[in-house]
């Protein structure tokens, strides 16, 4: 293991705290504060992975995780960005995308086959003759993608979520971000500051060069961070990557938990009144031959390796840079012991004189107007060729590291995904954000500022602008801040050079997809002349890093290659997530959130098998026999109890309650008598039936009604919506959860009920379709209805939810002598199907109207003046014989029932099966189907086509309905 | 047949220390190990009423004036009145003896329709923040105030009664059916902050100190 520095003030590692991990089956040690990548680097690993297409060796490049170079499998999870993932004890790290090892990859020979794989080669080849394609497709799919994960992989860890709100959100905890946060906080606003790294300070945090008056950038970063942390109304989320920004300043991100946190990762979704984006810049890759060879790295990467992680990137480094950070890095690393034979600075002039002097003082050769053109070495850099930018002179130097970057690229993602535009700026050579969304501001280095005071002033100004949005800052204060900015240096001039003078066969503009400059030229020559098209044809920017590496080089090169007079070409579209994270993080805590009925506990104890049905969990079966034979036979021959609590239940009262009911129900409800139950239905404007239920009159202008389970949540809104232009006075109260419902059904139902009630429940005392209110044991108030959905003598008991358990136990006790049993939703489904009672949604679909399913009898044609919803459409539909009709059918030759949803066909689709079962009550298979009008005649033969039937149809015949007890004697007994 | 009892949809996995029979309810006054807070208290046995009228301005339930502005609440005489919209007010009985429900038809007893819990104590809004994107801490709202919005993805009425450090707290109602999963969700979210179930006495003490 490499010796680590332990004297630098910028270090984020503790060399005394060793952390063991496993790599390729052997135990290695990193130190506390290491990322996985730095721990491996310290242990001599230089090749982390192989590239996707050509299997080229790849190594540490930027330390920002914007490419797949250092993605590895960690603890069984593929594609972990080891540059930004911190080392934990016991981690098991493996290489991926290799055949053999990253060092010796058997597929490495593909690198020499690049001539056979020009841009978009799979569009040109492998599809003529057509039979090749299925074979080729399989091979391509095998090769595509990196890493493997089992579909049933369980993600270890705790994943949480929070939804904070604030006045101002600042994205980016560098100097500009911290100044913005402080400016807004000093105005008394609630500020949230998000920073992707585990500490504040941004790119100043690891720099030991002078900030101002002998204070280093690092010291200034620490000073500002302390100020931020002690400001009560700034809430700091470190190690929190921003992943999205959306309308009205919805900002999303994810935070990596510390050891002391209760979460592994947590999703953050915050709403801010105003947002400041101060995300800074990444380095723009320099394009030259073998520009991604292990040993080639960006200046920030080399500097952070030393200053943050305490190790030099190598022994001898050549620098090929186009910015002052490169000079600063060279001076700093030289002082730490790195040998630097030469700095090739792309710029002829414009260098910071102080830095230039610092380099010359250290006797480092600097060649202005020079650039690296090729890195040599098959697996790692061994020497570098540099040339003058006009390619007239060249030199070669031995080295093991090449520090290379062309310039900077602003991280504009948070602005762009919230619809800001990017416009090319000739001075900075940046694509700068313009047309920013409302209440969103940019600050700091991403605007091109390099002067530290300017960066801070731009942050301060953005913070005040955000405060102004919150009405906590005056125009005068804004004016002062703007004036202060004007006295400071503006954005720095950016380096124009995009690519070294090379042919570009192995000059990679996109590392993830192995897309070279040559491939870009091929794409443009084929007519794909803008980045969005080039991206899709060549694959540049389609890999895991998305636009991280090709980012701004692709549009710049595209413009240059086509000799465009001005750069109107834009970078490719950026989409969230800006930083990839785990699906588990997005899922968050994922609390189960279903409704349970008041009888839930008792039914579970009785062996109920529950299913999630809409928002409810309901007992669907009470045994593992999913035909529910015993449950069905018990109801037909004895007595059963069903939990019907999920039904919608409502009270409507007030002077216009009846008007409102008449508006939405098709029946004439003015004729309801007290003590009677009225079954009716609602339609939508198209006459399509959407709900059914019963209505009872509680008193003058006071009604109680039920709806189907699925419609309960929408009923109040539906009625209010359809009465919105009337000045009607009525009140609606949702009692769905307030009232539990027990459906006591079967020929012995009366015998059970009469044991627990004091009223006369005989057929004469409590007849079919009657409604009664009474109390049980002088305590439990009951609203009872005589209904017959399952086709047997039935009592529907509506009881306050808190009493349901008590009543359930009473009925169970009373029913003991009859061996009363539960029945579930599936048994009810079969029982009512035998009776041909419909369930809306089962026997209907979106286009099915009241008449189609034979419920036209509910429609009161004499009811006028209420503008009943759907009636106008029903009048039209009544004359239409071509509509689907609901019919009953039996299977031929005592055959089995078709599957629900099976199609009814000849050479066309003529309808579908709604519900069909093998009926134990009838000893034959029966069902209901929606069929075309001309198929609805009794005796019509129906052919059923089921999924996976291989063309083997089964047959049935349309018959009279209902199948069971057609005269309805049993439910009226 | 055993005694007829009323059961809350809220069940805590904690051992009751003191109980009180109140009508058919068995109310837990104190649990073992209630800790230092924050606390979660089941108030489902406490009466809630729905008042709907096109003329709310003339109504004075229990002698209390209904706030004029939707989403404003008023806490008086142990009653919490929450103006929901133009025509509707929810009424929660928080403290004191059993109330007589007004006989006017405009009132509906909705005690059974919802669960009713209080979450209070320090860091209560850190718990809330994990379950809802509603802004409980926004300075532009004066306590008590009503939110009608999502909490753990479920539509709720949530009334913030106090934002004063240790006294911070909210009361919350949601459809009774969600009771079990809502409580599971709240307790899970509050685990890292030490949220524990507490009895009604803890709530009474809190409400009387507001």
pLDDT digits (tens, 9 = 90+) for A786-808: 999 999 999 999 999 999 999 99
Torsion of CA A418, A424, A430, A434, to 10 degrees: -30
B1:A809 CB<8 A: yes
| Domain assignment present for A507 | no
Q: Which residues of B touch A470 (CB under 8 A)?
A: none
| Domain assignment present for A500 | no
Torsion of CA A387, A392, A396, A402, to 10 degrees: 10
Question: Of the residues A700, A734, A768, which one is the last residue of a structural domain?
Answer: A734
Give the per-residue pLDDT at A152.
87
The answer to whether residue B21 neighbours chain A at the CB level (below 8 Å) is no
How big is the CA angle at A769 (ends A765 and A773), to the nearest 5 degrees?
60
Q: How far does the CA of residue A374 sit from the closest CA of chain B (Å)? A: 53
Q: Are A631 and A623 in contact (CB under 8 A)?
A: yes
Among partner residues B4, B112, B137, which is closest to A806 by beta-carbon distance?
B4
Q: Which residues of B touch A809 (CB under 8 A)?
A: 1-2
User: Looking at the whole model, is its pTM more than 0.90?
Assistant: yes
Identify the three-state secondary structure at position A291: coil
Identify the three-state secondary structure at position A605: helix
State CA B41 to chain mean position distance. Answer: 9
Q: Are B112 and A737 in contact (CB under 8 A)?
A: yes
pLDDT-derived band at A290 (thresholds 50, 70, 90) equals: very high
pLDDT-derived band at A626 (thresholds 50, 70, 90) equals: very high
Give the span between the Cα atoms of A43 and A224, in whole angstroms: 35
pLDDT in tens, B139-151: 889 999 999 999 9
Same domain, A318 and A341: yes
Q: At how many degrees (to 10) do helices A452-469 and A475-486 cross?
A: 170
Q: Which residue has the tokens 């004499």?
A: A862
Res A550 pLDDT > 90: no
Of A118-127, A511-520, A721-730, the range with the lowest mean pLDDT is: A118-127
Q: How far does the CA of residue B76 sit from the closest CA of chain A (Å)? A: 25
B130:A162 CB<8 A: yes
Give the per-residue pLDDT at B65.
97
Same domain, A694 and A799: no
pLDDT in tens, A639-665: 999 999 999 999 999 999 999 999 999
Give the containing element (helix H, strand E) for A515. strand A515-516
Among the listed residues A861, A864, A854, the one whose alpha carbon sits nearest the alpha carbon of residue A885: A854
| Domain assignment present for A25 | yes
Q: How far does the CA of residue A814 sit from the closest CA of chain B (Å)? A: 9
Q: If you write DSSP's letter for every residue of A27-90 in order, what string do you get?
A: EEEEEET-BHHHHHHHTT----EE-TTT--EE----SS--SGGGEEEETTEEEEETTTSBP-TT
A702:B105 CB<8 A: yes
Same domain, A58 and A80: yes
Same domain, A610 and A745: yes
Give the per-residue pLDDT at A151.
85
Q: Which residues of B touch A616 (CB under 8 A)?
A: 177
Name the A residues in 794-833 with CB < 8 Å from any B CB: 800-806, 809-810, 813
pLDDT in tens, A46-104: 999 999 999 999 999 999 988 899 999 999 999 999 999 999 999 999 999 899 999 99
Give the per-residue pLDDT at A140.
79
| A658 token code pair | 């009846």
A805:B108 CB<8 A: no
A737:B181 CB<8 A: no
Q: CATH topology for B16-45+112-208?
A: Gyrase A; domain 2 (3.30.1360)
SS3 content of chain B, % helix, strand, coil (to 5): 20, 35, 40
Among partner residues A164, A591, A702, which is closest to B185 by beta-carbon distance?
A591
Closest-CA residue of chain B to A806 = B4
Closest-CA residue of chain B to A780 = B4
Same domain, A899 and A816: no
pLDDT in tens, A300-315: 999 999 999 999 999 9
| Domain assignment present for A260 | no
Q: How far does the CA of residue A33 sit from the closest CA of chain B (Å)? A: 25
Q: Are A598 and A740 in contact (CB under 8 A)?
A: yes
How big is the CA angle at B80 (ends B143 and B8), to the nearest 5 degrees?
115
Give the per-residue pLDDT at A665.
98
Closest-CA residue of chain B to A727 = B54
Residue A767 φ/ψ, nearest 5 degrees: -80, 175
Same domain, A700 and A794: no
Q: Are A59 and A46 in contact (CB under 8 A)?
A: yes
Which domain CATH number covers A770? 3.30.1360.120
Res A739 pLDDT > 80: yes
- Let me know if A894 is exposed, middle or buried by CB neighbors in 10 A (0-12, 13-18, 19+): exposed
| A196 token code pair | 């992707």
Give the per-residue pLDDT at A131.
87
The mean of the pLDDT values for chain A is 95
Name the B residues in 68-87 with CB < 8 Å from any A CB: 87
Among partner residues A271, A592, A739, which is closest to B181 by beta-carbon distance?
A592
pLDDT-derived band at A568 (thresholds 50, 70, 90) equals: confident
| Domain assignment present for A496 | no
The answer to whether residue A206 neighbours chain B at the CB level (below 8 Å) is no
Give the span between the Cα atoms of A840 and A689, in whole angstroms: 8
Name the A residues in 734-763 with CB < 8 Å from any B CB: 734-739
Same domain, A908 and A932: yes
Same domain, A791 and A804: yes
Same domain, A822 and A757: yes
Among partner residues A165, A702, A734, which is closest to B133 by beta-carbon distance?
A165
| Domain assignment present for A333 | yes
Residue A443 neighbours by CB under 8 Å, 6+ apart: A176, A177, A179, A180, A276, A277, A278, A455, A458, A459, A461, A462, A463
Give the per-residue pLDDT at A126.
80
Mean predicted confidence (pLDDT) in A154-158? 91
Chains A, B: CB pairs < 8 Å: 132
Q: Which stretches of A734-802 are DSSP H helices?
A: 749-753
Res A835 pLDDT > 60: yes
Q: Are A578 and A413 in contact (CB under 8 A)?
A: yes
| Domain assignment present for A595 | no
Among partner residues B8, B133, B189, which is closest to A269 by beta-carbon distance?
B133
Res A129 pLDDT > 80: yes
Give the containing element (helix H, strand E) for A434. strand A430-434
Domain count, chain A: 5
Q: Which residues of B touch A258 (CB under 8 A)?
A: none
Among partner residues A163, A596, A732, which is closest to B180 by beta-carbon distance?
A596
The answer to whether residue A733 neighbours chain B at the CB level (below 8 Å) is yes
Mean predicted confidence (pLDDT) in A194-219? 95
The answer to whether residue B57 neighbours chain A at the CB level (below 8 Å) is no
B130:A161 CB<8 A: yes
Mean predicted confidence (pLDDT) in A376-391? 96
Give the span between the Cα atoms of A829 and A825, in whole angstroms: 6
Mean predicted confidence (pLDDT) in A883-894? 95
Give the per-residue pLDDT at A201.
97
Q: Which domain holds residue A321?
A: 288-405
The answer to whether residue A233 neighbours chain B at the CB level (below 8 Å) is no
The DSSP 8-state label assigned to residue A930 in this structure reads E
A701:B105 CB<8 A: yes
Which domain CATH number covers A719? 3.30.70.1400
Mean predicted confidence (pLDDT) in A294-298? 97
Give the containing element (helix H, strand E) for A705. strand A702-707
| Domain assignment present for A131 | no
The answer to whether residue B6 neighbours chain A at the CB level (below 8 Å) is yes
Same domain, A903 and A971: yes
Give per-residue burial for A424-435: e unless 16+ CB within 10 Å, then b: bbeebbbbbbee
Q: Which residues of A touch B181 (CB under 8 A)?
A: 591-594, 596
The answer to whether residue B47 neighbours chain A at the CB level (below 8 Å) is no
Handedness of CA A542, A547, A553, A559 (dihedral sign): positive
Closest-CA residue of chain B to A755 = B1
Among partner residues B1, B25, B191, which is closest to A810 by beta-carbon distance?
B1
pLDDT in tens, A506-527: 999 999 999 999 999 999 999 9
Question: Of the residues A734, A753, A788, which one is the last residue of a structural domain?
Answer: A734
The DSSP 8-state label assigned to residue A920 in this structure reads T
Same domain, A614 and A753: yes
Among partner residues A271, A651, A699, which is closest to B108 by beta-carbon distance?
A651
Same domain, A816 and A943: no
Q: What is the CA radius of gyration of chain B?
A: 16
Q: Which residues of A touch B114 (CB under 8 A)?
A: 737
Residue of A565 and A330 predicted with greater confidence: A330
Which domain CATH number covers A327? 3.50.50.60
Q: How far does the CA of residue A795 sit from the closest CA of chain B (Å)? A: 21
Res A924 pLDDT > 70: yes
Among partner residues B24, B129, B154, which is closest to A593 by beta-carbon distance?
B154
Task: State percent of chain A over pLDDT 70.
Answer: 100
Q: If you write DSSP's letter for every residue of A800-819 in order, what string do you get?
A: EGGGHHHHHHHHHHHHGGGT
Q: How far does the CA of residue A816 sit from the closest CA of chain B (Å)? A: 12
ipTM of the complex: 0.97
Give the span between the Cα atoms of A675 and B200, in whole angstroms: 41
Give the per-residue pLDDT at A134.
86
The answer to whether residue B175 neighbours chain A at the CB level (below 8 Å) is yes
pLDDT-derived band at B2 (thresholds 50, 70, 90) equals: low
Q: Are A506 and A290 in contact (CB under 8 A)?
A: yes
A593:B178 CB<8 A: yes
Longest dimension (CA), chain A: 113
Give the span between the Cα atoms of A309 and A63, in whole angstroms: 11
Q: At how many degrees (to 10) do helices A825-834 and A629-637 cross?
A: 60
Longest dimension (CA), chain B: 55
Residue A783 neighbours by CB under 8 Å, 6+ apart: A696, A704, A739, A771, A772, A773, A797, A798, A799
**In 10 A of CB A103, how many CB atoms?**
15
Closest-CA residue of chain B to A470 = B140
Q: Which residues of B touch A593 (CB under 8 A)?
A: 152-154, 178, 181-182, 185
Q: Are A432 and A473 in contact (CB under 8 A)?
A: no
Closest-CA residue of chain B to A617 = B177
pLDDT-derived band at A893 (thresholds 50, 70, 90) equals: very high
Q: Which residues of A touch B182 (CB under 8 A)?
A: 593
The answer to whether residue A162 neighbours chain B at the CB level (below 8 Å) is yes
Identify the three-state secondary structure at position A343: strand
The answer to whether residue B154 neighbours chain A at the CB level (below 8 Å) is yes
The answer to whether residue A587 neighbours chain B at the CB level (below 8 Å) is no
B108:A777 CB<8 A: no
Among partner residues A597, A701, A738, which is closest to B112 by beta-carbon distance?
A738
Task: State percent of chain A over pLDDT 90.
Answer: 90
Give the span between the Cα atoms of A831 and A920, in whole angstroms: 10
Give the span between the Cα atoms of B91 and B157, in whole angstroms: 11
């Amino acid at each position: 293991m490499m010796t680590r520095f332990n004297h630098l003030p910028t270090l984020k590692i503790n060399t005394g705290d060793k952390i063991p991990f496993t790599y390729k089956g052997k135990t290695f040690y990193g130190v506390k504060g290491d990322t996985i990548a730095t721990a491996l680097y310290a242990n001599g690993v230089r090749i982390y992975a192989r590239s996707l297409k050509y299997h080229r060796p790849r190594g540490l490049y930027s330390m920002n995780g914007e490419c797949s170079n250092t993605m590895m499998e960690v603890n069984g999870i593929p594609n972990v960005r080891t540059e930004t993932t911190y080392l934990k004890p016991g981690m098991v790290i493996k290489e991926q995308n290799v055949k053999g090892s990253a060092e010796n990859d058997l597929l490495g020979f593909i690198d020499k086959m690049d001539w056979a794989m020009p841009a978009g080669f799979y569009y040109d080849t492998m599809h003529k003759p057509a039979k090749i394609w299925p074979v080729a497709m399989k091979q391509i799919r095998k090769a595509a993608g990196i890493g493997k994960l089992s579909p049933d992989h369980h993600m270890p860890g705790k994943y949480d979520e929070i939804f904070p709100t604030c006045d101002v959100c600042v994205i980016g905890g560098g100097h500009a971000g911290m100044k913005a946060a402080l400016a807004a906080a000093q105005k008394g606003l609630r500020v949230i500051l998000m920073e992707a790294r585990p500490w504040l300070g941004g790119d100043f945090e690891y720099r030991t060069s002078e900030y101002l008056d002998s204070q280093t950038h690092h010291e200034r970063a620490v000073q500002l961070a302390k100020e931020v942390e002690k400001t009560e109304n700034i809430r700091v989320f470190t190690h929190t990557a921003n992943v999205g920004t959306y309308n009205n300043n919805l900002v999303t991100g994810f935070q990596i938990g510390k050891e002391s946190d209760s979460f592994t990762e947590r999703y953050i979704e915050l709403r801010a009144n105003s947002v400041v984006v101060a995300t800074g810049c990444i380095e723009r890759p320099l394009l030259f031959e073998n520009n991604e060879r292990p040993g080639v790295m960006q200046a920030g990467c080399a500097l952070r390796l030393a200053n943050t992680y305490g190790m030099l990137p190598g022994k001898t480094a050549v620098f090929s840079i186009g910015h002052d950070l490169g000079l600063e890095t060279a001076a700093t690393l030289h002082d730490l012991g790195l040998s630097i034979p030469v700095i090739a600075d792309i710029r002829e002039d414009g260098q910071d004189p102080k830095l230039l002097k610092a380099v010359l003082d250290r006797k480092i050769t600097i060649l202005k107007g020079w650039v690296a053109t090729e890195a040599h070495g098959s697996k790692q850099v061994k020497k570098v060729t540099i040339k003058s930018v006009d390619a007239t002179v060249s030199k070669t130097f031995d080295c093991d590291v090449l520090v290379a970057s062309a310039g900077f690229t602003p991280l504009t993602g948070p602005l762009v995904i919230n619809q800001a535009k990017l416009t090319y700026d000739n001075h900075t050579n940046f694509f700068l954000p313009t047309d920013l969304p409302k209440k969103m501001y940019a600050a700091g280095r991403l605007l091109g500022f390099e002067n530290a005071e300017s960066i801070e002033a731009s942050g301060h100004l953005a913070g005040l602008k955000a405060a102004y949005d919150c009405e906590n800052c005056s125009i005068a204060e804004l004016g002062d801040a703007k004036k202060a900015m004007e006295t400071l240096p503006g954005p720095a001039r950016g380096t124009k050079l995009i690519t070294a003078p090379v042919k570009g066969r192995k000059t990679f503009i996109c590392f993830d997809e192995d897309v070279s400059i040559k491939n870009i030229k091929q794409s443009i020559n084929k007519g794909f002349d803008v980045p969005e098209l080039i991206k899709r044809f060549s694959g540049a920017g389609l890999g895991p890093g998305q636009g991280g590496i090709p980012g701004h080089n692709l549009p710049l090169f595209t413009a240059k290659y086509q000799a465009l007079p001005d750069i109107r070409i834009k970078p490719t579209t950026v989409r969230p997530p800006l930083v990839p994270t785990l699906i588990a993080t997005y899922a968050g805590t994922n609390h189960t959130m279903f409704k349970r009925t008041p009888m839930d506990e008792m039914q579970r104890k009785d062996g109920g098998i529950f299913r999630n049905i809409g928002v409810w969990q309901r007992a669907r079966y009470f045994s593992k026999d999913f035909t529910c034979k015993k449950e069905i036979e018990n109801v037909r021959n004895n007595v059963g109890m069903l939990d019907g609590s999920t039904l919608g239940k409502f009270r409507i009262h007030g002077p216009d309650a009846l008007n409102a009911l008449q508006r939405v129900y098709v029946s004439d409800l003015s004729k309801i008598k007290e003590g009677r139950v009225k079954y009716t239905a609602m339609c939508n404007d198209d006459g399509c039936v959407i709900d059914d239920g019963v209505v009872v009159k509680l008193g003058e202008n006071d009604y109680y009604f039920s709806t189907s389970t699925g419609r309960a949540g929408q009923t109040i809104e539906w009625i209010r919506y359809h009465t919105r232009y009337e000045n009607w006075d009525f009140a609606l109260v949702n009692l769905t959860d307030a009232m539990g419902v027990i459906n006591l059904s079967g020929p012995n139902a009366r015998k059970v009920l009469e044991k627990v009630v004091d009223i006369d429940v005989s057929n004469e005392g409590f007849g079919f379709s009657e409604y009664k209110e009474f109390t049980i044991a002088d305590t439990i108030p009951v609203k009872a209805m005589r209904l017959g959905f399952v086709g047997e003598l039935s009592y529907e008991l509506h009881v306050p939810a808190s009493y349901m358990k008590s009543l359930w136990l009473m009925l169970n006790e009373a029913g003991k002598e009859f061996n009363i049993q539960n029945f579930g939703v599936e048994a009810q489904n079969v029982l009512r199907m035998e009776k041909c009672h419909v369930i809306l949604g089962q026997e209907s679909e979106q286009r099915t109207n009241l008449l189609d399913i034979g419920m036209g009898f509910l429609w009161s044609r004499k009811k006028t003046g209420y503008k009943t919803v759907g009636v106008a459409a029903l009048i039209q539909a009544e004359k239409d014989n071509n509509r689907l009709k609901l019919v009953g059918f039996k299977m031929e030759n005592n055959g089995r029932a078709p599957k629900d949803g099976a199609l009814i066909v000849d050479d066309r689709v003529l309808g579908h099966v709604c519900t069909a079962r093998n009926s134990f009550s009838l000893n034959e298979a029966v069902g209901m189907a929606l069929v075309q009008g001309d198929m609805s005649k009794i005796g019509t033969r129906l052919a059923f086509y089921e999924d996976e039937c291989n063309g083997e149809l089964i047959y049935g015949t349309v018959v009279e309905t209902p199948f069971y007890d057609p005269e309805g004697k049993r439910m009226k007994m | 047949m055993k005694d007829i009892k009323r059961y809350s949809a809220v069940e805590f996995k904690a051992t009751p220390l003191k109980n009180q029979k109140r009508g058919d309810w068995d109310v837990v006054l104190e649990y073992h190990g209630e800790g230092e807070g924050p606390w979660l208290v089941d108030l489902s046995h406490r009466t809630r009423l729905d008042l709907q009228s096109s003329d709310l301005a003339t109504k004075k339930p229990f002698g209390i004036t209904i706030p004029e502005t939707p989403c404003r609440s008023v806490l008086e005489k142990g009653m919490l009145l929450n103006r929901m919209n133009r025509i509707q007010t929810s009424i929660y009985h928080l403290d004191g003896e059993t109330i007589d429900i007004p006989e006017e038809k405009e009132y509906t007893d909705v005690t059974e329709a919802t669960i009713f819990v209080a979450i209070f104590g320090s860091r209560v809004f850190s718990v809330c923040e994990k379950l809802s994107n509603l802004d409980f801490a926004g300075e532009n709202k004066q306590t008590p105030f009503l939110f009608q919005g999502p909490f753990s993805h479920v539509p709720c009425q949530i009334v913030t009664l106090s934002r004063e450090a240790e006294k911070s707290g909210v009361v919350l109602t949601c459809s009774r059916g969600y009771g079990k999963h809502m409580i599971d969700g709240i307790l899970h979210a509050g685990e890292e902050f030490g949220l524990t179930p507490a009895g009604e006495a803890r709530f009474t003490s809190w409400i009387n100190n507001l």
